[in-house]
């Protein structure tokens, strides 16, 4: 009788539903009971997003991970992490020396297995990580990022599996991140792997949203898969994962050897998760993420990004409805915008070369779709804004695309002077640990046990600095207080189906929050505040640097540089960049700053020659579309 083992994808359960994962005290409290359930051979403890999320709410991810993995290590339950190969634990490429350090740190922190996937399914990126992880003593599981298209065939995935096994992979994972793999088709892929490599374990990971998952699990098990990823209540199904109870019952009835589940403890763990949601996590879970939706079949968007997608969509909806209201057009509901987005993703995906819709490329495709939808609704055209990291994907700097780019995209690349790259992507991202060591030394920061604090800074520079300064914790506490007061996530009633002006998260006022006024021929930038009833208060002059001369422009003409979308404003995104300052001369095309939105950095460039007269927003500030970022003095 074939034995089937279960892996609880605890990290992904939370991140597929919302924005955050539990705090370290909550993780420590629940770990012994997950073990006591007696049905899990493996648990996903960390990986993509876990580090950043801890930093965002002011927790130390290194401390959290050591304490979280220890009970499982002691009990003989294997722990595994999600690893984005070239991107490691973040959304953009990582230098090789930082990637190598990651595996050493994660191994000493108690992570046994690394699940390595490349969002492009480029075996070069995966095999590099296999080599680095093995050097650190970790078990390597190479993931095939499953998607369904005319280029993503059974033969395509079988060939990829053979290449990564030849490259040293200990195991294979079918990472069906959107749950759109067709059941029989998935079974054929597993059978092909098992026919050639019967001793290589195969693990299946699927999201339940589109509705194929239970049938897919049965098919891959019939074909020889040994491990199945599962979730549990109250965070199973929806955009998450199938529940262990249903999978166990189905496979037991089919004659497989499956572990028994301690139901008393299952209910205890379920209750603890509900308590975590009431504490704060539920405020970041959109109710629509708890619902299955077969519309996901056509768009192919993964369940793992639906939590962040719905959070982003709130902001996009506010921007669009501000524009609609100003132009006497009907406001959209979140559901209406979501359908438009799904349709646009389906339309542009082939044109962008069929990148597998998995992090970060699912976000890249979705971000371009959101921008296209916004422009089309405002009477504009597609492709007005393609972020730099999307161009990196399109031009081969992150790996080889599975399909061909549409002629219109190739033409846009030519017009923008973009060069196509065919080498190993890692060549473009040189070692940088020495730069981060210097920053640690200059700040007097401790490198941490096994250099784990150095690793954290190198992997997530901006988030780590905000964590160290205390700014991250303050921002999180302020946001949570606002959500609790106004309602948010699961506690916002039916906000997801109402216009933004009526939703739980308040819409941005239609009245201006800043303006330029002219007095005796001189221009001043001012902020405008309103009283609690929405009435006008006196405008107050903004002082960015404390010097009046920097808050006005003389003669000539002054151009406002607005934000093209909602997000967080940053002057730099890399340690090596020098931030722009008031008084700096700039040329057309020079980088002024960035808007970090939907997990990507969107470059803000000057469209004229001139001089920076004023930097309106603070570094890291949340901004909305059309908020002024800079005043540029031109001649």
Q: Say yes or no to pLDDT of 516 above 50.
A: no
What pLDDT, in 10s, does the model give residues 344-383? 888 999 999 999 877 788 888 888 988 898 888 888 889 9
Owner of token pair 């370290």: 24
Q: How confident is the model at residue 251 (pLDDT cuts 50, 70, 90)?
A: very high
What's the whole-number mean pLDDT along residues 556-566?
82
551 vs 348, which has greater pLDDT? Answer: 348
For residue 537, pLDDT over 60 is answered with: no
Return the domain boundaries, the chain.
Answer: 5-287, 296-421, 514-634
Nearest-angstrom CA–CA distance, 212 and 148:
13
* Side-chain-side CA neighbours of residue 263 (13 Å): 3
Question: Residue 537 half-sphere exposure, CB side, CA atoms within 13 Å?
Answer: 13
Length of the chain counted residue by residue: 635
Res 292: pLDDT: 76
For 296-421, CATH number? 1.10.472
φ and ψ at 428, to 5 degrees? -85, -10
**Which residues does residue 145 pair with via DSSP β-bridges, in sequence order?**
175
Rounded Cα distance between 451 and 448, Å, is 5
pLDDT at 522: 46
Average pLDDT over residues 186-206: 98
What proportion of the chain, given as a percentage, has pLDDT over 70?
86
pLDDT per residue over 430-488, tens digit each? 999 999 999 999 999 999 999 999 999 999 998 999 999 999 999 999 999 999 998 88
CA distance 42 to 32: 14
17 in Cβ contact with 9 (< 8 Å): no
Reported as a single tens digit per residue, the pLDDT across 491-501 is: 765 433 333 33
Between 289 and 483, residue with greater pLDDT:
483
pLDDT at residue number 574: 74
- Give the CA angle between residues 290, 291, 293 to the nearest 5°: 140
- The class level of CATH for 5-287 reads alpha beta
Question: If you average pLDDT over residues 10-23, what whole number do you get?
Answer: 91
DSSP letter string, 407-426: HHHHHHHHHTT-----S-GG
- Residues with Cβ within 8 Å of 566's Cβ and at least 6 positions away in sequence, in order, are 315, 316, 318, 319, 595, 597, 622, 623, 624, 625
Could you give the CA distance from residue 598 to residue 600 in angstroms, rounded to a whole number?
A: 6
**Among 307, 273, 275, which residue's Cα sits nearest to residue 288?**
307
pLDDT of residue 521: 46
DSSP assigned state of 498: S
What's the mean per-residue pLDDT of the chain? 86
CATH 1.10.357.10 fits 514-634, yes or no: no
Q: Alpha-carbon distance 222 to 234, whole Å?
A: 28
> How confident is the model at residue 595, as a pLDDT?
86
- Confirm if 189 and 154 have CB atoms less than 8 A apart: yes
């Amino acid at each position: 009788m074939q034995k089937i083992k279960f892996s609880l994808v605890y990290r992904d359960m939370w991140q597929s539903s919302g924005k955050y994962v539990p705090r370290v005290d909550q993780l420590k409290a629940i770990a012994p009971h997950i073990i006591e359930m007696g049905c899990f051979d493996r648990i996903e403890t960390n990986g993509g997003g876990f580090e950043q999320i801890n930093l965002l709410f002011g927790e130390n991810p290194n401390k959290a991970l050591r304490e979280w993995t220890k009970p499982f290590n002691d009990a003989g339950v294997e722990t595994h992490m999600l690893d984005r190969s070239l991107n490691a634990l973040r959304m953009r490429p990582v230098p090789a020396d930082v990637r190598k350090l990651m595996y050493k740190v994660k191994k000493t922190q108690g992570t046994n297995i690394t699940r390595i996937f490349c969002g492009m399914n480029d075996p070069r990126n995966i095999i590099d990580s296999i080599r680095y992880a093995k050097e650190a003593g970790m078990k390597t599981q190479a993931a095939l990022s499953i998607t369904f298209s005319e280029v993503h065939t059974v033969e395509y995935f079988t060939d990829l599996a053979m290449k990564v096994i030849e490259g040293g992979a200990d195991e294979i994972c079918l990472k069906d991140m959107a749950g759109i793999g067709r059941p029989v088709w998935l079974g054929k892929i597993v059978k092909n792997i098992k026919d050639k490599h019967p001793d290589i374990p195969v693990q299946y990971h699927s999201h339940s949203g589109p509705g194929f998952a239970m049938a897919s699990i049965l098919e891959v098990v019939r074909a020889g898969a040994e491990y199945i990823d599962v979730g549990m209540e109250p965070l199973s199904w929806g955009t998450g994962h199938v529940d262990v109870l249903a999978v166990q019952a189905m496979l037991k009835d089919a004659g497989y050897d499956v572990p028994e589940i301690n139901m008393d403890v299952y209910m205890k763990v379920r209750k603890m998760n509900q308590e975590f949601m009431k504490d704060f996590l539920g405020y970041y879970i959109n109710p629509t993420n708890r619902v299955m939706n077969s519309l996901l079949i056509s768009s192919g968007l993964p369940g793992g990004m639906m939590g962040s997608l719905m959070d982003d969509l709130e902001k996009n909806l506010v921007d669009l409805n501000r524009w609609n209201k100003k132009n006497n057009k009907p406001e959209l509901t979140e559901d209406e915008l979501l359908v438009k987005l799904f349709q646009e993703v389906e339309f542009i995906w082939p044109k962008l070369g069929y990148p597998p819709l998995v992090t970060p490329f699912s976000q890249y495709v979705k971000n371009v779709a959101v921008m296209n939808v916004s422009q089309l609704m405002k009477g504009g055209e597609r492709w007005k804004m393609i972020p730099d990291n999307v161009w990196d994907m399109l031009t081969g700097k992150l790996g080889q695309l599975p399909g061909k780019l549409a002629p219109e995209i190739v033409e846009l690349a030519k017009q923008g002077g973009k060069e196509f790259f065919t080498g190993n992507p890692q060549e473009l991202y040189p070692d940088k640990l020495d730069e981060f060591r210097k920053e640690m030394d200059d700040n007097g920061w401790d490198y941490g046990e096994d250099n784990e604090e150095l690793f954290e800074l190198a992997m997530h520079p901006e988030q780590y600095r905000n964590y160290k300064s205390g700014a991250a914790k303050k921002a999180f506490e302020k946001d949570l207080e606002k959500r609790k007061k106004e309602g948010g996530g699961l506690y916002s009633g039916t906000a997801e189906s109402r216009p933004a002006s009526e939703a739980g998260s308040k819409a941005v006022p239609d009245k201006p929050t800043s303006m330029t006024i002219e007095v005796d021929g001189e221009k001043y930038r001012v902020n405008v505040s309103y009283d609690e009833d929405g009435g006008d208060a006196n405008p107050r002059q903004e002082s960015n640097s404390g010097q009046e001369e920097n808050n006005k422009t003389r003669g000539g003409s002054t151009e406002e540089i607005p934000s093209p979308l909602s997000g967080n404003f940053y002057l730099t995104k890399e340690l090596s960049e020098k931030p722009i300052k008031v008084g700096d001369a700039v040329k057309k095309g020079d980088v002024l700053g960035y808007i970090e939105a939907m997990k990507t950095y969107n470059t803000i460039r000057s469209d004229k020659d001139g001089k920076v007269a004023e930097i309106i927003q603070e570094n890291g500030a949340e901004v909305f579309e059309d908020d002024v970022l800079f005043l540029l003095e031109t001649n």
